[in-house]
């Protein structure tokens, strides 16, 4: 059965007209939304000093103070052990309480308590709170028996990279000297100091040792904390060392 050509043309024209009407309606709606949005007055930003900038400045000051703290207290770590003594209730005394790899200890009558990251005074207070549920104002003393000796790690462009004992107050520049000083190709203007601030996070600070040496201002020379790591990066020039001419060809290459 054949369909007249005029009928097909009519249907095609009708479809085209409908599509054109739909498109026009969409454009009108979009323009209306945009005009409404422009007509609404925007809320001005709050006036006055920027809270964000103030907080950032305070955070930076706090971080600098933390990096320059002297004589930080030792924090309990997995593998440590301590004796627990109760002055008025000796039946609760415990010896060689070991800190498990997950940072917990198992104690008599109170069960598991997380002690990792606590100083000895903080640990004492935590234990007093735990045993205070079964004892009346317990007097507790904690004595560390086995613990990791304080250390720092020097890596990167230093004379002798490695792990070193941290004895007494040691600054960053002193630690670099202990590790053999700067080696060839070191970038002393961007020494990185890494410090653990929690079980999951480490904080890094960039220190310009060159500037300290030139100005003679060692106030910015931070004291190391146990577990700190310093890293001396390479200069951009040192990246090309592998392509430098041998000693026999040295006279043919004059860097500027």
pLDDT at 219: 79
Query: What pLDDT score was predicted for residue 220?
Result: 81
Which mean pLDDT values do the consecutive 10-residue runs of the chain (256 residues) have? 46 50 50 47 44 46 54 84 95 95 94 94 96 94 90 95 92 95 93 85 90 84 92 74 46 40
Confidence at residue 224, expressed as pLDDT on a 0 to 100 scale: 92
Please answer whether residues 182 and 234 qualify as being in contact, where contact means their C-beta atoms are separated by less than 8 angstroms. Answer: no
pTM metric for this prediction = 0.54
Does residue 22 sit in helix, strand or coil?
Answer: helix
Strand, coil or helix: 129: helix
pLDDT number for residue 73: 81
Query: For residue 226, what are its two tokens?
Result: 């146990």
Q: Residue 40: what pLDDT?
A: 45
Task: Show the beta-strand stretches assigned E in 38-103.
Answer: 81-86, 94-98
Determine the pLDDT at residue 68: 57
* pLDDT for 197: 78
The pLDDT of residue 64 is 53
The structural domains of the chain, ordered by start, are: 81-146 (3.30.1950.10), 151-238 (3.10.560.10)
* Beta carbons of 96 and 112 less than 8 angstroms apart: no
Q: What is the pLDDT of residue 218?
A: 78
The tokens describing 141, both together, are 């003393």
Residue 99's pLDDT is: 95
Residue 191 near residue 175 (C-beta atoms within 8 A): no
Distance between CA 81 and CA 95 in Å, rounded?
Answer: 9
**What does each C-alpha distance from 45 to 33, 38, 42, 49, 180 come to in angstroms?**
24, 17, 9, 11, 54
What is the number of other CB atoms lying within 10 angstroms of the CB of residue 130? 17
Which distant-in-sequence residues (6+ apart) come within 8 Å of 101 by Cβ?
A: 78, 79
């Amino acid at each position: 059965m054949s369909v007249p050509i005029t009928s097909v043309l009519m249907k095609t024209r009708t479809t085209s007209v409908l599509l054109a009407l739909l498109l026009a309606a969409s454009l009108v709606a979009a323009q209306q939304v945009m005009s409404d949005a422009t007509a609404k007055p925007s809320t001005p930003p709050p006036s006055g000093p920027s809270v964000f900038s103030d907080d950032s400045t305070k955070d930076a000051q706090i971080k600098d103070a933390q990096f320059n703290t002297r004589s930080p207290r030792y924090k309990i770590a997995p593998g440590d052990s301590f004796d627990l003594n109760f002055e008025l209730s000796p039946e609760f005394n415990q010896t060689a309480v070991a800190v498990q790899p997950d940072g917990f200890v198992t104690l008599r009558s109170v069960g598991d308590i997380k002690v990792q990251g606590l100083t000895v005074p903080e640990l004492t207070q935590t234990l007093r709170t735990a045993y205070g549920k079964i004892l009346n104002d317990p007097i507790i003393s904690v004595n560390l028996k086995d613990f990791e000796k304080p250390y720092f790690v020097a890596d990167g462009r230093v004379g002798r990279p490695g792990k070193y004992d941290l004895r007494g107050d040691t600054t960053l520049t002193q630690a670099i000297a202990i590790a053999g000083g700067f080696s060839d190709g070191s970038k002393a203007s961007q020494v990185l100091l890494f410090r653990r601030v929690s079980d999951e996070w480490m904080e890094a600070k960039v220190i310009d040792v060159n500037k300290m040496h030139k100005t003679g201002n060692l106030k910015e020379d931070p004291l190391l904390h146990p577990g700190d790591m310093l890293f001396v990066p390479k200069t951009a020039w040192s990246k090309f060392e592998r392509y430098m001419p041998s000693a026999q060809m040295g006279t043919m290459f004059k860097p500027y």
